[in-house]
Amino acid sequence: MLIPEENEALCRVGPGTLMGKLMREYWVPALLSSEVPAPDSDPLRVLILGEQLIAFRDTGGQVGLIQNNCPHRGASLFFGRNEESGLRCVYHGWKFSVDGTCVDMPNEPAESDFKHKVRAVAYPTRERGGIVWAYLGPRSTPPPLPSFEGNMLPEDEGQVTAIQRECNWFQGLEGDIDTSHFSFLHAGSMDVSTQQPGTFSYYMLADRAPRYSVVDTDFGTMYGAYRETDDGRRYWRVANFLFPFWTMPPQGMLGHKITARGWVPMDDTHTMFYMAGPRFRRAAAPAGPWNRMQPNTTNWLGRFRLTANASNDYMIDREKQRRNSAMDDFTGIQGIHLQDQAITESEGPLYDRSSEHLASSDMMIIRVRRRLMMAAHALAEQGLTPPGVDDPEVFGARAGGVFLPREAEWLAATEDLRRGFVKHPELDSSITGPLV
């Protein structure tokens, strides 16, 4: 349980806030490259860490991320003309390059040097793996981009998706670092008899109350949750929290699973969820409420919204919920992502954690909260650089499931499998089963 003051410090991300300062030390995903598809294409409204910004791709293909209000009289640069390597305000014609330099001030006399004294706030950007990364921090020379394997795949192998969630960033993140909910929220109607014996899926349903080990790491925090098997081994689910808002959940096989999931705050009550990893090779899933999107609009909260949402109760099917059969959903809400979205948004836009009652299954959540708060206070009070900012290689990690001998020390036994950018052709993914 957090007291209200701690909850506020953890959740608020705007300029000058404790957590906002921490997050600004890192590169953060600001938008998808596809949202500014071509040179001189339409500007885009971007809300990130409580700041209203305008993204545009200039004539040379570079992406700019600039303040919304023109430095002259405050007109929105969203309405600007994206032309000839800059964004021109339509109010008085002032034009700014991607780095915020005023390159033209046509309503001033030709002999005036005033344009050299005016700059717009603009943040450095870099593109990688379909994501436009931005650095909103204080350094004149930004740190290196974090080495997330899921965002560094060859162009024809990787993909990235984005979905907006209408709640505070940490509510979404908490769901990703909570392994025990999978057996209920996503598989509550399933019986162990429906699963192939000896698979990850089988043991997850055979024992819905795993035991935990949680450790701090160079990149953040990691847990191993284990279940006993009937052949003298243990089924371990290993997952990661990585500073400042990244997760690697344990679904899939440790050593094969490549993913990075970012819970990027738009503001205190809206989050943009990014998932970067391998491109799906199987046939596309049929359209359903779990993956159907509303058309994007141009307002601050108009990007990447699911059709199923709070206004239609996430299209819950109460009859399926009542049947409670293995072929139906425990929740009556279809699809893992949509189930997660419904539950975390149902907590409210910014949940008051002072009213919660944490149990032993919340060990990872407790540790991550503590780690974030310690790092944020160390930065604010001592000027200590947060974990991983200057060491991008620490983010080259993996998560997933694995069988280990009962007597094995899980950290040592999984060290090689948890290392990113390493191939493991010897692993047989068929032992995971259909659920994980």
Q: Residue for token digits 């081994």?
A: 233
Q: Are 265 and 13 in contact (CB under 8 A)?
A: yes
- Which value, to the nearest 10 degrees, does the dihedral of the CA atoms of residues 427, 428, 433, 436 take? 20
pLDDT, tens digit, for every residue of 193-232? Answer: 889 999 999 998 899 999 999 999 999 999 999 999 999 9
Give the model confidence (pLDDT) of 45-87 as tens digits. Answer: 999 999 999 999 999 999 999 999 999 999 999 999 999 999 9
Range 298-326 average pLDDT: 93
- Ordered by where they begin, the domains of the chain are 27-135 (2.102.10.10), 149-432 (no CATH)
Contact present, 44 and 55 (Cβ < 8 Å): yes
**Residues of the chain above pLDDT 90, percent:** 87
Query: What per-residue confidence (pLDDT) applies to 327?
Result: 61
Mean residue pLDDT of the chain comes to 94
Burial grade of 400 (CB within 10 A; 0-12, 13-18, 19 or more): buried
If you write DSSP's letter for every residue of 352-395 in order, what string do you get?
Answer: -GGG----GGGHHHHHHHHHHHHHHHHHHHH-PPPTTTT-GGGG
CA-derived radius of gyration, the chain: 23
pLDDT at 288 over 80: no
Helix axes 169-176, 4-11, angle to 10 degrees: 90
**Residue 257's pLDDT band (cuts 50, 70, 90):** very high
pLDDT at position 282 over 80 = no
Q: Is the pLDDT of residue 115 over 90?
A: yes
CA dist 62 and 85 (Å) reads: 9
- Is the CB of residue 87 less than 8 Å from the CB of residue 43? yes
Is residue 283 very low, low, confident or very high in pLDDT (cuts 50, 70, 90)?
A: very low
Q: Please give the pLDDT value at position 185.
A: 84
For the chain, the 3-state helix, strand and coil shares in percent, each to the nearest 5, are 25, 25, 50
Angstrom distance (rounded) from CA 98 to CA 55: 9
Handedness of CA 290, 295, 299, 303 (dihedral sign): positive
Report the pLDDT averaged over residues 380-384: 98
Answer yes or no: is pLDDT of 3 > 70: yes
Amino acid at residue number 329:
D
Which of 235, 247, 245 is CA-nearest to residue 436? 235
Q: What is the pTM of this model?
A: 0.96
